[in-house]
Structures are given as structure tokens and as C-alpha cells.
Amino acid sequence: MNCNEIIGKLESLSPTAFAEDWDNIGLLVGRRDKEVETIYIALDATDEVIEEAVRVGADMLLTHHPLVFKKLDRVTTDDFIGRRVCRLIKNDVSYYAMHTNFDVMGMADAAADELSLKDRAVLNVTYEDDIAKEGCGRVGKLKKCMSVAELAELVKAKFHVPNVRVFGELGDIVETAAVMPGSGGSYIKDALNAGADVMITGDIDHHEGIDAAAQGITVIDAGHYGIEKLFITYMEEYIRRELPELRICKAEIKEPFVVV
């Protein structure tokens, strides 16, 4: 199967039309006509990921976050992005990224599914036509009312994170939850407008957290990687189902930092 056929399947899941204008998605490095037997899935195209993809003989690398995000004036080994691109080209690895298009058509509902949100709606609409409204994040009802402490434990269990940061009172009872994988600070207003009691997201800074709590919404920060790593297992399941002839390798699930 060639790379372009695989891209067709990926884009049937998460069409490029759903990506934000500022984003950089799609085939970023390599050949569309590359014959692919092994695909490697990761959240980020780090040095370690690329080296492992090369080591296992991957023909294609698939990530959520784009390696090439800003315009490149040159591709050389003088900087780390250039070195990674050169490494991919040298080893004839085609590289594809599905970022905000997957946030809209994939990530948002997958995260909401983990929390069993009912009566859900789009948190931040980024795409609208005559048929539907789509966008990032979801808001809905939890299976039952629970304390913030109970929900924090649920988030830890469902997203497989060792800890979360909570801005708010652990004893408060919550029912309506918003979930925004990735960096959610700029979407707190959307969660407030949607009537959410709590928002589950990542990358919340000090002021965003305390300001949210002051406005009556609790924030549970499970980390950027903490929630978005579901991309790896989601895409593994999708490719096994839709492209069973491919051999799948994937990055180890581990936080990109350590807490000392």
C-alpha cells in the first residue's frame, strides 16, 4: 500500500477542512508514492521517536503535533528541526501530521467518551455548515453528580496520569463538565458560557487557574500530554481496523518530563 492511499484513509477520519487556518497538517516530509508496510505512531516527532521509527524500519511516521510548524527558510543540520527532517528524508520515511483536524474529528469525542459525557455539545465551534457545527472540546453531563475530588480520581484513572492539578474546592459537587485536550486556558470562557461546573484540560497557568475558580468554575489540569496521548491508541485501533495489512509500531507512553 502506498503512502497516498493511507493518507486517504486518515483524511476520511479527520478531513483537512476541519484544521485551523494557522495549522500545518498533512504530508510534511517524504513521498506520496512511498510503499508502506510499517507505520510508526507517536504524539510528537522527537529525536527519540524518529530514531526508533528508523530502527524498526518504519516507512511512515504519523504524529499529532506537526514537526514543521513555522515556515522553514532552509533545511540543514544546523538546527534540531532541520536535523530531524534530514533524518527522515535520508531514511525515506514519509511523515504525516494530523493536528487540529484530529482535535475536531477524533480527539474531542474520544476524550468525552473516556469521561462518559452525556448530552454533549461542541465547546468551541470552529467549523459550521448547513448540516452541523464542529469544533474543539466537548461539554456535557457526567454520569452522575460527584465531588471534584471524585472526578479528579476518575480523570487520573481514565487518562492514565499519576496526578492532576485542581484549581477549586475538592468538596464541591459538579455535574456539567467540559473537556478540552491540549492547552485549554483560552477556552475557559467557552466553558463558563456553556454552564460547565468543571473543565478538564491541560497547560493551565497560575493566573488562568485562580481566575477560573474566582468565576465559579473548577479546573482539573491533567497535562497536555496527559490527555492528548490518547491519539496513539486511538490511531492504532483505527489503522488496525481500516488498514489491517499494515504493521504498526508506536511510541512508548511516558510523560515527556519528570517530577523531582
pLDDT at residue 259 in the model: 87
Q: Which residues pair with 115 in a beta bridge?
A: none
CB atoms within 10 A of CB 27: 17
What is the pLDDT confidence band of residue 132, given thresholds at 50, 70 and 90?
A: confident
Per DSSP bridges, beta strands 133-147 and 173-183 are: antiparallel
The DSSP symbol for 35 reads B
215-231 pLDDT, tens digit each: 999 999 999 999 999 99
182-214 pLDDT, tens digit each: 999 999 999 999 999 999 999 999 999 999 999
70-100 pLDDT, tens digit each: 889 999 999 999 999 999 999 999 999 999 9
Mean pLDDT computed over 39-47: 98
Q: What rounded mean pLDDT belongs to the chain?
A: 97
State pTM to two decimals: 0.96
CB 134 within 8 A of CB 128: yes
CB atoms within 10 A of CB 133: 11
CB atoms within 10 A of CB 116: 13
149-180 pLDDT, tens digit each: 999 999 999 999 999 999 999 999 999 999 99
CA angle 28, 17, 111 (to 5 degrees): 90
CB 6 within 8 A of CB 94: no
For residues 232-252, one letter each, b for 16 or more C-beta atoms within 10 angstroms of the residue's C-beta and e for the rest, the string is bebbbebbeeebeebebbbbe
CB 107 within 8 A of CB 231: yes
Q: Which residues pair with 140 in a beta bridge?
A: 177
- The greatest distance separating any two alpha carbons of the chain, rounded to the nearest whole angstrom, comes to 57
3-state secondary structure of 42: strand
Whether 60 shows a pLDDT value over 90: the answer reads yes
Report CA Rg, the chain: 19
Whether 129 shows a pLDDT value over 90: the answer reads no
